[in-house]
Amino acid sequence: MMKKLIKGATILTMESNGPFVGDILIDGDRISDIQTDITAEVDEVIYGEGMAAMPGLINAHQHTPMSLLRGFSDDLKLMDWLDKKMLPAESRMTPEDIYWGTKLAMAEMIKSGTTAFADMYIHMNEIAAAIEEVGMRASLTRGLVFLEKDGGRRMSEAVDLIRRWSGKADGRITTMLGPHSPYTVPPQPFAEVIALAEQENIAIHTHLAETKEEVIKIREQYNQTPTEYLYHLGLFEKAHVLLAHSVHLNRRDIGYLKGMRGGVSHNPVSNLKLGCGIAPITDIIEQGITVGIGTDGAGSAVTLDMFSEIRAATWLQKLDYGDPAKLPALDALRMATAGSAELLNIGHEVGTLEIGKKADIILIDLRKPHLQPVHNIYSLLAYCANGPDVDTTIINGKVLMKGRELLTIDEDELFKQVSLRSKRIVEGI
């Protein structure tokens, strides 16, 4: 196995120790040592002077192929955005389009320091193949909607994804079941998905209470909030759950989540841009519920830069509560690393820099005007850093970007494919 040594970086483990200047020894796909000075025979030395080394960012909620629809439907109300733009365009996507859209999203994620992500979409075999080829880590979910006659086919595809891809790509791919949301999955099929998840010990990835319209709709149909709907189906006690958005939760709703396995993916930029609202993240955290950070798809968020999400997350809580002490910088960074790792159910492997964990590490170049001077590095990264400040991205011990150069994606070919495919997909819509 190849050995690599990151030398002389400012190390942020996201644990209680640090930051400190030191070295990280990578043996194969794992971290084998972290110390102030390591002497070892290695195959490659990565010089980290002037850089911060931290766990890779983890995007807890994504729809990767929507990168092909970036900037196509901005400044619209949510249902107009969805019904008049997104759904017609997505219906034109071929499996090959899905493959290239996923590669575009991964190129952006790698270049902005994201090492793992949770994805929910269609044509998941193409998405998995792109991930296997490029080298990222991902939790994959076939989105399930049961308002149409082909719900059974979708369920079959979801099970096929789990059987075919769980643990593949050197263990980088994990899977979940993906009932889309309370308003697209009626009680009986939702209960069936939960039963399967409990029986097979599979996690569930779903959307919850993203809009006021969803809350009104579920109240009219079931005389419950969306959270009550899921609670009474037994979701929170029977499975590890990744809840995307969770914007419109009252205090009773948050109480239903207390003690759950998994937690909430906060997607602040998408929620802001679509005018959905500000999620009560501080209240959720105070109840001991894990919170991670995601971007949602590029069709809504536009950018997949997790540093933008970190800033938005902390600033929104300060604004919403009128308290600048809410969600401090280090807590926001931990949400985007260890917190998101817990949501993807891979916290035992990634999310912090620890001996024995997988080597998913990013190096951020601090030698830039907007990142100097370094008084408090956590504040600097949470409030000042941007995706292009990431110099090196390592996933599973493999260097996927070094010196801002992607090593597993041909960007020229990628941009050629994306230009041709995106024009065809949106033409006339």
Within-domain flag for 221: yes
Omega before residue 65 within 30° of 0, cis: no
Do 366 and 333 have their domain in common? no
pLDDT, residue 151, reads: 65
Do 126 and 203 have their domain in common? yes
Do 272 and 338 have their domain in common? yes
Give the CATH number, domain containing residue 20: 2.30.40.10
Residue type, 279: A
pLDDT confidence tier of residue 136, bands split at 50, 70 and 90:
very high
pLDDT, residue 351, reads: 98
| Contacts of residue 417, Cβ cutoff 8 Å, sequence gap at least 6 | 100
318-373 pLDDT, tens digit each: 999 999 999 999 999 999 999 999 999 999 999 999 999 999 999 999 999 999 99
Per-residue pLDDT at 60 exceeds 80: yes
Do 76 and 22 have their domain in common? no
pLDDT, residue 68, reads: 97
Q: What is the mean pLDDT of residues 49-78?
A: 95
381-417 pLDDT, tens digit each: 999 999 999 999 999 999 999 999 999 999 999 999 9
pLDDT, residue 266, reads: 98
Per-residue pLDDT at 300 exceeds 90: no
Give the CATH number, domain containing residue 91: 3.20.20.140
Do 362 and 339 have their domain in common? no
pLDDT, residue 1, reads: 82
Phi/psi of residue 145, nearest 5 degrees = -120, 135
Within-domain flag for 427: no
* Mean of the per-residue pLDDT values of the chain: 96
pLDDT, residue 372, reads: 98
Do 266 and 402 have their domain in common? no
7-25 pLDDT, tens digit each: 999 999 999 888 999 999 9
SS3 per-residue string spanning the chain: CCEEEEEEEEECCCCCCCCEEEEEEEECCEEEEEECCCCCCCCEEEECCCEEEEECEEEEEECHHHHHHCCCCCCCCHHHHHHHHHHHHHCCCCHHHHHHHHHHHHHHHHHCCEEEEEEEECCHHHHHHHHHHHCCEEEEEEEECCCCCCHHHHHHHHHHHHHHHCCCCCCCEEEEEEECCCCCCCHHHHHHHHHHHHHHCCEEEEEECCCHHHHHHHHHHHCCCHHHHHHHCCHHHHCCEEEEECCCCCHHHHHHHCCCCEEEEECHHHHHHCCCCCCCHHHHHHCCCEEEECCCCHHHHCCCCHHHHHHHHHHHHHHHHCCCCCCCHHHHHHHHHHHHHHHCCCCCCCCCCCCCCECCEEEEECCCHHHCCCCCHHHHHHHCCCHHHEEEEEECCEEEEECCEECCCCHHHHHHHHHHHHHHHHCCC
Do 323 and 258 have their domain in common? yes
Count of Cβ atoms closer than 10 Å to residue 30 Cβ: 17
173-218 pLDDT, tens digit each: 999 999 999 999 999 999 999 999 999 999 999 999 999 999 999 9
Whether the CB-CB separation of 246 and 285 falls below 8 Å is answered with: no
Do 61 and 37 have their domain in common? no
Within-domain flag for 210: yes
pLDDT confidence tier of residue 73, bands split at 50, 70 and 90:
confident
pLDDT, residue 17, reads: 82
Q: How many domains does the chain have?
A: 2
Within-domain flag for 72: yes
Do 154 and 286 have their domain in common? yes
pLDDT, residue 14, reads: 96
Q: What is the mean pLDDT of residues 232-236?
A: 98
Domain that holds residue 397: 3-55+353-406
This prediction's pTM: 0.97
Within-domain flag for 87: yes
Within-domain flag for 420: no
Q: What is the mean pLDDT of residues 220-229?
A: 98
Do 20 and 113 have their domain in common? no
Q: What is the mean pLDDT of residues 101-106?
A: 98
Within-domain flag for 101: yes
Do 46 and 61 have their domain in common? no
pLDDT, residue 149, reads: 72
Within-domain flag for 229: yes
Whether the CB-CB separation of 60 and 265 falls below 8 Å is answered with: yes
Do 260 and 182 have their domain in common? yes
